[in-house]
Structure 1
Amino acid sequence: MNKLSDGFRALYAGDNLLRITRVRYIPRWMVLFFDLGFVFFSVLISYYFLLKLNVKLNFQNLLPLKIFIVLCINLIFMFVFRTYAGIIRHSTFFDFFKILLSSGSSLITLSLLNYIFDLIQGRPLFLYPNIFLFFFVSVSFLFFFRMATKRFFNVLVDFTRAPSTLNVAVVGVEDVSVALARAIMHNPNYPYRLGGFVTNRTDSKRAVLLGHNIYSKNHFFNNPKILRNFDAVLIIKEIMSKKELEEWMNLSLDSGLKVLKAPTIGKMRDQDLVGGIRNLQIEDLLNRRPIKIENEEVKKRHFGKNVLITGGAGSIGSEIVRQVAEFNPATIVVLDQAESPLYDLELELLEKFPAQKFKFILADISNSYRLEKIFEEYSFSMVYHAAAYKHVPLIEDNPHEAVFVNILGTKNVASLSKKYKVNRFVMVSTDKAVNPTNVMGASKRAAELFVQSLQNTEGNTTKFITTRFGNVLGSNGSVIPHFKRQIQKGGPVTITHPDIIRYFMTIPEACELVLQAGTMGDGGEIYVFDMGDPVKIVDLARRMIKLSGYIPDEDIKITFIGLRPGEKLYEELISDNSTTVPTHTEKIMISKDYCEDFDMVNEHFVKIVRSAMKKDKNEVVGLLKSLVPEYISNNSEFEHLDKKNQTVSTIQLPDTIV
């Protein structure tokens, strides 16, 4: 009622059009009042036509009573079918159907009453043509009232939008596209105005949808007069293939239009659909179709169990925590040495999963005494080891730190998993561990060797699983956030080499595959993931610049700064002397890598750790190269160690390191 009074007061105010659009719905009694008025008017019109045709009416002296009877019968069926209950400005065919039911029932009732009156009085109370004429006129008026009101509000909404409103063309004429267009039309508070539809179809040139033109793709993008009327193209990503998405993006950007994306189809059920519209991001172009994992098997491994996630505050670890929480484990222990990210994650998870029991532990995995107390307290069924140092240039300058976390830390967590008979241990590795050219990749390969060799040791009951994949979109320190910051600053965008390529995967997809791989195999396997097609980084940068509304090499410069120490032009998921074996999950394969003897690997680990304590970089890297013989440094200060190895088959280990 307050909304309606606001609308009436607006008639006397200076901004009446703007205020009227804020009236969300008319009270039901007023809709009923209008409907009865149209019924009354329809009765008068039907009698008027009959009089003009010189038709003599029955019982003319009872005309007021006859009109009253018609109104009462219609009123009864309006209540029965609740024709007044819909929101007029959002009327649909369902509302028209209710009008037909109500008016049709009134027609049948009046005909039945007429028949009874005819039996009693010898002639009908109403002329039958009069009843049918009234039916058609009343239905027309009631439906026209709703359509006219709906159109009136739509025009007002468009007229009163802010000057900065974007005129958008919705891509597609499917049901989801029409639903999105309707939502835009009915939301005056958002900065979008529906201008029309664009489709691949060529049979809709003269068709109109929701009062707006439908343009074929070629006609739309090749006609400057049409393009001048639009500011953006709105895409529903889920109904397109990756190739189609790139085509629409390129056509739109080349035509000077912004590219917007709608929320996912699942979120289209929410009321705030229009508020979910965002600029298309580069992640949308790199993202692949959602994968289907065997949730039942994964759930069985976690439901009611205690689970440990190391590195749980990191980009990968935190997503593993979120996904594991969906399977209702008894306790999730989240362990990390980064205080602030761990605290932020705690606040998020306690709000999102109030019924789930969490334990957030600040600890360093290189401290075996601290870790053992945790393993003693909780009887873990699953351990996800995601803690690692991963930034290639930093680790190249500080190889001893990689030894403490990636090597010693992995040894501690894996050994304790064996000692306390954890059911499954899943390590998150990287494609940089394959034919490594840097300390980080070599340290992760060393960790893989230890985990693999531990599988076949005496008394072991734990299944040790290794998962290996490439770059993940949006992870801490990844290239995409870095490029975004550079573009926001006006450039230049810096790339190490014009030919460098990388594989990309979304964080949720990578973690789903980690959970799936953790349920597979007998232990000792290295699972590699299907990373899709590689992406050339310079092409990635150009797309991001275009999506930001700039022209590459004109508005934003691209500069090449040379490969960083230890960096490859391309990454691999399997080594040269390895093969892959398919699994029952399409996107997961087993890499058949060589496996070393545990005693040999453990002996190297002891020596490397002790060498790291002395912070002798060359000695640490030399020992690492002897453990991982395929580790050949690239663009690094440690290249001289490879030259030395060409004349000496193995590095002589100091006698003092035991």
Structure 2
Amino acid sequence: MIKNYFTYYSQKYASKWLVLVIDLVSVVTTFLLAYLIRFNFTLDFDKKQLLVQVPITLFIASVSFLSIGSYKSVIRHTGLTDVINLFKSVTLMTFMAVFLVVSNRIIELIPGFTIPLSIIVMHALLSFMVLSASRFLFKALYRYVKCRFITSKKILIYGAGDSGLVTYNALVNNVKTRFEVLAFIDDNEKKVGKKINGVPVLSFKEISLAYLKINQIEEIVVATQHLDTSKLISLIDSLIDSKVKITKVPPIEKWINGELNTSQIKTVQIEDLLGRAPIQIENPNLLNEFRGETIVITGAAGSIGSELVLQLSHFDTKHLVLIDQAESPLYDLQQELHRKGKYNFTTIVADIRDGLRIDGIFQEFKPTMVFHAAAYKHVPLMEASPYESIKINVNGTKILADISSRYNVKKFVFISTDKAVNPTSVMGATKRLAEMYISCLQKESKTKFITTRFGNVLGSNGSVIPLFKKQIENGGPLTLTHKDITRYFMTIPEASQLVLEAGTMGKGGEIFIFDMGDSVKIYYLALNMIKLSGLRYPEDIDIQITGLRPGEKLYEELLANGENTLSTYHKKIMISKTRELDYDKIKSDIEALCITNRFQNNNIVLKMKQLIPEYKSNNSDYEKFDKRSKVYKKEQDTVNNQIDKTFINL
């Protein structure tokens, strides 16, 4: 209640006009004080002349304040700029007074009006001092009252540089919440031990759990713009047993009009803990690559597809054709593009398995580029439905690639996955088959077929991060299939940038992969998410190990057996050199696989294993085919050994 009254009355009555009146009163007071000082604090001066001088001085001061606008500043946020404006006002007032006095001596406009120059100079100095001091006094009084009646939130700021200082000012000047900054944390030993605005600078080593508890620290704001990811992870790990919240200041380019607002300080996101710097692609050739192109995007309403659409919408494309069979998400994407003022696109509800429908779309729009993101991607679901997985991931890709080739599309960019590498699941195997088919098609087509292969995408539909967030919201536990499971991660924008870059640099037949740094242990990811949510493990949220799901790997790979890489002009992007294929046989076998009966799941998997020798099922019913082949191979080896021995004896 007191807080609300204080905020209301300070905003209502501390108006700019009240500030102007106070400033004018201060000017008159200092003018009288200057007279007293000039005459040794006696009244031995002409009182009648003073009665003429005061109104004129008041008028001159009014003109100078109104001209400069120094009275318009918010007093409780007084800073250097406001002091400079006061200096300008006082300087203008002084020059006007001197000019009027000198002019009156030459041409007597105001009878009896004269002011000793010594008084004008003293008045200028006193006015500047009093006006500046009054503002800082009010600012201090405001903070004092705020401290007395508003509960403070004790925080630390990580980073004692320029960004840290801006963060400090934004926090201490916040109207709604009182922040008490107890210390800065900095890794620069030259800054440690010093003070900024009276606040000490400490090293990271000094921030112990005991320090946090004694000082009742509630939050640490990471203000530095260049904090190493490993340092951030180390900070979170060191606070795992405390209730201290960790927040982060956004990049400078995202500040509002170059100024930081406390509402922009957000909780550290899991994307900040990838264990590597975000991959940035700045290729000016992208502008020319997509200018005037008609581009088809399949799976346009999905996580990757929709981001791809949003990024392409910023280029000078001729037309975007957005295809998806998910009606509602496609409608949402359409509305989002309209909100952004984009209209050179067409949304089409269609199934990529419908060859006649897709052919009709190509005939109508005559696309020059295709980005193929439509796919079934959930490993356990596809393990139970090999036929459905083949229909979409292989046959859907085949139909789309064949039509693209028939209509002489310039480039066809296929979005694959690291699960296609040495696959252990039906889903991974179908994506590998799709890679193989478009490689075969490359040999007989004018279209440049390009594949991008990357790891898990943070925040995509059905990925682990949204699942963990939902489980945390529901009070837990977090479900984890294995404590040692690891994955490569990238953000949705990163994945989309890779696809666009592949569309630019690809010459046809390449598989592009990212240098994604080290893989991330999902168990540690879960612990960090619990911590970032302001909770503790296992007191607040537990982690439950459920066991590997059918077809799931403990770790993912970016290269298959027999593959190596070639570098590109971007150090984070490489080209996978795949093993040689018998293209004619592979192509005909995949075509035959696409017309397999839906009730022949076992036959489908057996044929996939024949086509992909490195496909070994894991934690799946289809492991029996691998074991059978191992037994058969062992029996064959035994027979061959016996034959060899017979020949030796002979």
Residue 516 of structure 2 corresponds to: 531
CA distance in 1, matches of 2:116, 2:206: 56
Q: 1:101 aligns with which of 81, 88, 110?
A: 88
The correspondence for 2:134, drawn from 142, 145, 149, is 145
Which residue number corresponds to residue 598 of structure 2?
614
| Contact 1:282/1:544 (8 A) holds in 2 | yes
Contact 2:380–2:551, Cα closer than 8 Å, also in 1 = yes
Q: Is the alpha carbon distance of 1:237 and 1:311 closer, same or farther for their aligned partners in structure 2, counting shifts above 3 Å?
A: farther
Q: Which residue of 1 aligns with 2:371?
A: 384
Match of 1:431 in 2: 418
Q: Quote the residue 1:243 is aligned against.
A: 230
| Alpha-carbon contact 1:399-1:617 (below 8 Å) kept | yes
Quote the residue 2:57 is aligned against. Answer: 70
Q: Given the superposition, is the C-alpha separation of residues 69 and 204 from structure 1 closer, same or farther in structure 2, using an over 3 Å criterion?
A: farther
- Please say if residues 21 and 157 of structure 1, whose CA atoms lie closer than 8 Å, have aligned partners that are also in contact: no
8 Å contact kept, 1:168–1:192: no
Q: Distance in 2 between matches of 1:520 and 1:620?
A: 35
1:462 to 1:141, Cα distance in 2 relative to 1, 3 A: same
Query: Does the CA contact (< 8 Å) of 1:267 and 1:273 recur in 2?
Result: no
**Is the aligned partner of 1:410 residue 2:397?**
yes
Q: Distance in 2 between matches of 1:133 and 1:307?
A: 74
| 55 and 299 in structure 1: CA distance in 2 versus 1, 3 angstrom threshold | same
Partner of 1:572: 557
| Letter matched to residue 397 of structure 1 | A
Equivalent residue letter for 1:405: I
Q: Which amino acid aligns with 1:416?
A: I
Report the Cα offset of residue 588 of structure 1. Answer: 0.8
- 1:52 counterpart SS class: coil
Residues 456-505 of structure 1 show CA distances to partners (whole Å, capped at 9, x for unaligned) of 20xx2211100000011111111122222333333333322222211111
Question: Shift of the alpha carbon at 1:416?
Answer: 0.9
2:274 to 281, 286, 294: 286
Are positions 1:359 and 2:343 aligned together?
no
Structure 1 stretch 105-114 or stretch 29-38: which is displaced more? 105-114
Aligned to 1:198: 184
Indicate whether 1:370 and 2:370 are aligned. no
Segments of 5+ residues of structure 1 without an aligned counterpart are: 1-9, 650-658
**1:98-497 equivalence runs, <5 A:** 98-114=85-101, 125-159=114-148, 161=150, 166-189=153-176, 193-200=179-186, 201=188, 203=191, 205=193, 207-209=195-197, 214-221=201-208, 224=211, 227-236=214-223, 238-269=225-256, 273-286=261-274, 288-352=276-340, 354-457=341-444, 460-497=445-482
* 1:623 correspondence with 2:612: no
Identity among equivalent positions (%) equals 39
Residue 90 of structure 1: how far off its partner (Å) = 2.7
Among 526, 544, 551, the alignment partner of 1:559 is: 544
Shift of 1:132: 2.0
CA distance in 1, matches of 2:501, 2:38: 77
Counterpart amino acid of residue 187 in structure 1: N
Query: Structure 2 CA distance, aligned partners of 1:381 and 1:289?
Result: 34
User: Which letter does structure 2 place at the counterpart of 1:147?
Assistant: F
Secondary structure of 1:380's partner?
A: coil
1-structure distance, mates of 2:632, 2:440? 26
Match in the other structure for 2:16: 28
Equivalent residue of 2:280, what SS? coil
Q: Is this contact kept in 1: 2:275–2:520, CA < 8 A?
A: no
Give the 3 Å change call, closer, same or farther, for CA 223–497 of structure 1 in structure 2.
closer
CA separation in 1, counterparts of 2:178 and 2:270?
Answer: 22
Alpha-carbon distance change, 66 to 83 in structure 1, aligned in 2, over 3 angstroms? same
Aligned residue type for 2:464: V
Q: 1:596 Cα shift?
A: 2.6
Deviation at 1:425, TM superposition (A): 0.5
CA distance in 2, matches of 1:421, 1:580: 29
Q: Report the residue type matching 1:20 in the other structure.
A: Y
Following superposition, the deviation at residue 507 of structure 1 comes to 0.7
Structure 2 stretches of 5 or more lacking a match? Answer: 634-650
Please state how far the C-alpha of 1:232 moved relative to its aligned partner.
Answer: 1.2
Q: Counterpart of 2:569 in structure 1: which amino acid?
A: H
CA distance in 2, matches of 1:249, 1:598: 51
**Any idea what SS the aligned residue of 1:40 has?**
helix
| C-alpha deviation, 1:39, in angstroms | 0.5
- CA deviation after TM superposition for structure 1 residue 262, in Å: 2.9
Which letter does structure 2 place at the counterpart of 1:316?
I
Conserved 8 A contact 1:196-1:215: no
1:50 aligns with 2:50: no
Q: Which moved more, 1:503-512 or 1:488-497?
A: 488-497
What is the root-mean-square deviation of aligned Cα atoms in Å? 2.8
Residue aligning to 2:616: 632
Note closer, same or farther for the CA distance 1:489–1:405 as it changes in structure 2 (3 Å cut). Answer: same
Equivalent position of 2:487 in the other structure: 502
Deviation at 1:360, TM superposition (A): 1.4
Contact 1:583/1:589, CA 8 A, preserved across alignment: yes
SS in 1 for 2:133: helix
1:204-263 Cα shifts (integer Å, max 9, x gaps): 646252x65555444443654774332111223743121222233233444431112233
Per the TM alignment, residue 115 of structure 1 is displaced from its structure 2 partner at its CA by 5.3
> Do the aligned residues in 1 keep the contact of 2:297 with 2:370 (CA within 8 Å)?
yes
Determine the structure 2 residue equivalent to 1:654: none
Q: How many residues align?
A: 627
> CA separation of 1:289/1:20 partners in 2, compared to 1, >3 Å: closer, same or farther?
farther
Q: CA deviation at 1:635?
A: 2.0
Contact 2:437 2:586 survives alignment (8 Å)? yes
- 1: CA distance between counterparts of 2:618 and 2:216? 54
- Does the residue aligned with 2:271 lie in a helix, a strand or coil? helix
Following TM superposition, by how much is the alpha carbon of 1:358 offset from its aligned partner in structure 2, in angstroms? 2.1
- Counterpart Cα distance in 1 of 2:576 and 2:470: 37
AA at the equivalent of 1:28? K
8 A contact 1:172–1:197 mirrored in 2: no
Greater alpha carbon shift after TM alignment, 363-372 vs 337-346: 337-346
Residues 539 and 29 (structure 1 numbering): CA distance in 2 closer, same or farther, change over 3 Å?
closer
Structure-2 change in CA distance of 1:421 and 1:152 (3 Å): farther
Once the two structures are superposed, what CA deviation does each residue of 1:317-364 show, in whole Å capped at 9, x if it has no partner?
A: 111111111113222111111222222222222212x23322111111
Instruction: State whether residues 181 and 194 of structure 1, in contact with CA within 8 Å, keep that contact through their aligned partners in structure 2.
Output: no
**C-alpha contact (below 8 Å) 2:153/2:179 kept by paired residues:** yes
575, 579, 585: which one aligns with 2:570:
585
Give secondary structure in 2 for the equivalent of 1:307: strand
8 A Cα contact 2:61 2:93, kept in partner = yes
Q: Which amino acid aligns with 1:262?
A: V
Q: 2 CA distance for matches of 1:160 and 1:388?
A: 58
Distance change in 2, residues 1:215/1:52 (3 Å): farther
CA contact (8 A) 1:464 1:523 kept: yes
SS at match of 2:39: helix
Report what 2:641 is aligned to: none
Distance 1:562 1:256 in 2: 31
Kept after mapping to 2: 8 A contact 1:500/1:536: yes
Report Cα offsets for 1:1-25 as digits up to 9, x if no partner. xxxxxxxxx9xx99642422444x8
Task: Give the Cα separation in 1 of the matches to 2:333 and 2:461.
Answer: 14
The secondary structure found in structure 2 opposite 1:84 is helix
Instruction: Using the TM superposition, give the Cα deviation of residue 564 of structure 1 relative to its aligned residue in structure 2, in angstroms.
Output: 1.9
3-state SS, counterpart of residue 425 of structure 1: strand
The aligned residue for residue 639 of structure 2 is: none
How big is the shift at 1:103?
1.4
